[in-house]
């Protein structure tokens, strides 16, 4: 386990291009693996999670090659033209819930037996949520008390009409990916609109799907064609630096090539409520995804407070740890409720946020579905336990920037799951 030391900073100045979006990278990797032809992906996420998706595609018969480095790095995926092979080894999803859940839907229509495994954290995460719709479609799927390892006995699938009981883009995607290859038209309704990267990615690869109100429909028996695409920067990774910028009155942060898909930007509204001032400098569309350059400053008067409840909690679920970590430094505090899903992410994020806030001397109230963190607090440097969770490691590195004394992030290597460059960027943008 590696330790990173984070010292208090005075300001945040500069510009940053965050790595390619993790959610979009997974989807492009998987659809490229199924498609016919060679897909070329620029700015593909450098994180370990999307690398798990690429490795699974190779195990399923696709070819993956990397050319160039840094900004010129391109991932080339030559797909299987709709025919995955029988893998000779279990499909290792690593730490990635997205890989395990979305891949299950993608491979289920193929006439093979698949075993999906993951690391300790992934083995603790709920998988019944994908078994339900997929088994309605005719998939025989074995879990161990609702968890991985998963065995899928693949074969022909029938379309279904499915109402998603919990807001989850991963479950939606598993159903859409299976529906794409089923007999008949699969429909799916969501009560809370989750991130729609799968819908854009499917269309980019040539599939037809329609949305009417909150109902999506995808005809089965479709084939996909390779694309050339650039992955937008990951707003959930940028969130750490956006929150860091808010900690200093004279901050000036420019984020380039940032993904600004409206189903992901609710965080920007919350930050604006807290006291961020945004300027959109450029914006363009690529395969249905918005990519822009934004400038962030802090409004005079500093950070106020925020109430995050109801559907909003689901929409910014990945950003809640960092919002919780900066909450003590706001004037009015941050109240987070209706976020029980945080307990079944890469870790129990409510418990780990609580543990690390306590270590830094913060006062708060913990609920089963959230946290109430008063503002106006002074925190001290501490030993932080990442719990091997990338977002916890990064969230408390941001809290450390305004603490008194230095903070040690234990298990800092977890950041590489989504953002390997995080600590380098932190040192560049927030010198002590």
Give the annotated binding-site residues for phosphoenolpyruvate: 22, 97, 125, 170, 349, 391
Between residues 96 and 251, which has the closer beta carbon with respect to ligand S3P?
A: 96
Do residues 318 and 342 touch, judged by C-beta distance below 8 A? no
Do residues 54 and 92 touch, judged by C-beta distance below 8 A? no
- Name residues contacting ligand S3P, limited to 284-343 (CB under 6 A): 317-318
Number of chain positions touching ligand S3P (CB under 6 A): 9
CB atoms within 10 A of CB 48: 19
Site string for ligand S3P, 381-400 (x = CB under 6 A): --------------------
User: For the chain, what's the residue count?
Assistant: 432
**Is 318 annotated as catalytic?**
yes
Do residues 16 and 425 touch, judged by C-beta distance below 8 A? yes
What's the angle, vertex CA 262, arms to CA 390 and CA 344, rounded to 5?
Answer: 35
Between residues 53 and 407, which has the closer beta carbon with respect to ligand S3P?
A: 53
Alpha helices in 137-255 (DSSP H): 169-179, 197-204, 235-245
In the complex, the smallest distance separating the C-beta of residue 341 from ligand S3P, rounded to whole angstroms, is 6
Between residues 345 and 410, which has the closer beta carbon with respect to ligand S3P?
A: 345
Q: Which residue has the tokens 């305004």?
A: 402
In the complex, the smallest distance separating the C-beta of residue 165 from ligand S3P, rounded to whole angstroms, is 12
At 231, list the tokens: 């992955």
Peptide bond into 149 cis (omega under 30): yes
Stretch that binds ligand S3P, among 164-172, 176-184, 324-332, 370-378 (CB under 6 A): 164-172
In the complex, the smallest distance separating the C-beta of residue 101 from ligand S3P, rounded to whole angstroms, is 7
Q: CA 87 to CA 397: how far, in whole Å?
A: 40
Between residues 170 and 388, which has the closer beta carbon with respect to ligand S3P?
A: 170
Q: CA 293 to CA 17: how far, in whole Å?
A: 9
Stretch that binds ligand S3P, among 135-143, 165-173, 243-251, 326-334 (CB under 6 A): 165-173
In the complex, the smallest distance separating the C-beta of residue 261 from ligand S3P, rounded to whole angstroms, is 11
Q: CA 160 to CA 192: how far, in whole Å?
A: 20
- Name residues contacting ligand S3P, limited to 85-114 (CB under 6 A): 98
Q: Which of 170, 181, 257, 397 binds ligand S3P (CB under 6 A)?
A: 170
Between residues 170 and 407, which has the closer beta carbon with respect to ligand S3P?
A: 170
In the complex, the smallest distance separating the C-beta of residue 399 from ligand S3P, rounded to whole angstroms, is 21
At 393, list the tokens: 């490691």
Q: CA 178 to CA 404: how far, in whole Å?
A: 51
DSSP tag of 63? E
Between residues 121 and 330, which has the closer beta carbon with respect to ligand S3P?
A: 121
Stretch that binds ligand S3P, among 169-177, 213-221, 253-261, 376-384 (CB under 6 A): 169-177
Q: CA 431 to CA 326: how far, in whole Å?
A: 18
Q: Which of 64, 169, 394, 398 binds ligand S3P (CB under 6 A)?
A: 169
Does residue number 237 form part of the binding site for ligand S3P (CB under 6 A)? no
Helix 169-179 and helix 22-34, axial crossing angle in degrees, nearest 10: 10
Alpha helices in 68-185 (DSSP H): 97-107, 120-123, 128-136, 169-179
Q: Which residue has the tokens 């599939």?
A: 207
User: Which element (helix H / strand E) includes 16?
Assistant: strand 13-16
Residue 290 gets the label, from left (phi > 0), alpha (psi -120 to 50) or beta, of beta
Between residues 99 and 257, which has the closer beta carbon with respect to ligand S3P?
A: 99
Between residues 80 and 98, which has the closer beta carbon with respect to ligand S3P?
A: 98
Name the active-site residue from 49, 196, 318, 389.
318
DSSP tag of 427? H
- Name residues contacting ligand S3P, limited to 174-213 (CB under 6 A): 195
- Name residues contacting ligand S3P, limited to 15-34 (CB under 6 A): 23
First-to-last alpha carbon distance for the chain, in angstroms, is 24
**Which residues are catalytic, by number?**
318
* Footprint on this chain of ligand S3P (rule: CB under 6 A): 23, 98, 168-170, 173, 195, 317-318
């Amino acid at each position: 386990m590696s330790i990173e030391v984070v010292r208090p900073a005075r300001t945040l100045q500069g510009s940053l291009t965050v790595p390619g979006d993790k959610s979009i990278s997974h989807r492009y990797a998987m659809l490229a693996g199924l498609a016919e032809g060679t897909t070329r992906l620029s700015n593909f996420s450098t994180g370990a999670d999307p690398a798990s998706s690429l490795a699974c595609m190779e195990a399923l018969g696709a070819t993956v090659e990397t050319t160039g480095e840094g900004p010129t790095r391109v991932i080339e995926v030559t797909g299987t033209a709709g025919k995955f092979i029988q893998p000779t080894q279990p499909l290792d999803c690593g730490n990635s819930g997205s890989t395990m859940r979305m891949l299950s839907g993608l491979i289920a229509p193929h006439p093979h037996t698949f075993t999906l495994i993951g690391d300790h954290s992934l083995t603790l995460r709920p998988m019944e949520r994908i078994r339900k719709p997929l088994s309605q479609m005719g998939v025989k799927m074995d879990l161990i008390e609702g968890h991985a390892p998963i065995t899928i006995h693949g074969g022909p699938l029938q379309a279904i009409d499915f109402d998603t009981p919990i807001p989850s883009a991963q479950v939606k995607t598993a159903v859409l990916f299976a529906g794409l290859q089923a007999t008949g038209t699969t429909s799916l309704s969501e009560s809370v609109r989750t991130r729609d990267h799968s819908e854009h990615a499917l269309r980019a690869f040539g599939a037809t799907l329609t949305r009417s109100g909150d109902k999506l429909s995808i005809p089965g028996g479709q084939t996909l064609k390779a694309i050339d695409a650039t992955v937008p920067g990951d707003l959930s990774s940028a969130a750490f630096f956006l929150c860091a910028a808010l900690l200093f009155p004279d901050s000036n942060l420019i984020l380039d090539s940032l993904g600004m898909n409206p189903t992901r930007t609710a965080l920007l509204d919350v930050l604006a409520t807290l006291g961020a001032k945004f300027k959109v400098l450029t914006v363009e569309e690529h395969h249905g995804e918005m990519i822009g350059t934004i400038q962030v400053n802090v409004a005079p008067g500093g950070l106020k407070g925020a109430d995050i409840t109801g559907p909003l909690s689901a929409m910014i679920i990945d950003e809640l740890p960092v919002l919780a970590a900066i909450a003590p430094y706001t004037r009015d505090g941050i109240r987070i409720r209706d976020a029980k899903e945080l307990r079944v992410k890469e870790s129990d994020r409510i418990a780990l946020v609580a543990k690390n806030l306590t270590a830094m001397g913060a006062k708060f109230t913990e609920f089963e579905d959230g946290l109430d963190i008063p503002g106006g607090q002074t925190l001290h440097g501490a030993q932080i336990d990442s719990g091997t969770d990338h977002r916890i490691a990064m969230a408390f590195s941001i809290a450390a920037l305004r603490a008194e004394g230095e903070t040690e992030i234990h298990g800092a290597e977890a950041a590489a799951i989504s953002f390997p460059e995080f600590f380098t960027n932190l040192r560049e943008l927030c010198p002590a």
